[in-house]
């Protein structure tokens, strides 16, 4: 179902079980294991994870005062103007991540 060889999946689950038992992954140094998984685990859930629009940073044009700007289509100079009383804050402004990347937690969402 997930497009990998059964042997590779079995070996990956064995390595994960070992890392859970030891408390650290030798490949990634991960030391948090909320669930114990092994090749003998039953009732595993398979889910395809895809980012949603909630995790897309940026999107609004703002000025230095945080006022949302609208585009003035028929002008070549001064192509934006503020929308009165509409301010933007947080991720919609680009935030610390900028407007071109996904938030790390989108990979954990399911």
Whole-model pTM above 0.85? no
Rounded Cα distance, 81 and 74, in Å? 13
Query: How many alpha carbons fall within 13 Å on the CB side of residue 11?
Result: 5
Q: What is the pLDDT along the chain (110 residues), one digit of tens a residue?
A: 778 899 998 999 999 999 999 999 998 898 988 888 899 988 777 666 665 555 555 578 889 999 999 988 887 777 889 999 999 887 677 655 555 555 555 445 44
How do the domains of the chain map onto residue ranges? 1-46, 50-110
pLDDT of amino acid 56: 54
Q: Please list, in sequence order, all residues whose beta carbon lies within 8 angstroms of the beta carbon of residue 63, skipping any fewer than 6 positions away.
A: 69, 82
pLDDT of amino acid 110: 44
CA 16 vs. chain centroid, Å, equals: 23
Q: Would you list the DSSP string of 66-80?
A: -EEEEE-TT-SSS-E
- Neighbour count for residue 19 (Cβ, 10 Å): 19
């Amino acid at each position: 179902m997930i497009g990998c060889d059964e042997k590779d999946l079995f070996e990956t689950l064995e390595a994960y079980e070992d890392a859970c038992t030891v408390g650290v992954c030798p490949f990634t140094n991960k030391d948090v294991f909320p669930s114990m998984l092994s090749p003998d685990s039953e009732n595993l859930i398979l889910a395809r994870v895809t980012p949603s629009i909630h995790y897309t940073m940026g999107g609004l044009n703002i000025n230095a005062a945080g006022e949302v700007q609208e585009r003035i289509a028929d002008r070549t100079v001064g192509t934006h103007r503020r929308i009165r009383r509409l301010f933007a804050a947080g991720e919609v402004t680009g935030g610390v991540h900028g407007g071109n990347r996904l938030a790390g937690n989108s990979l954990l969402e399911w």
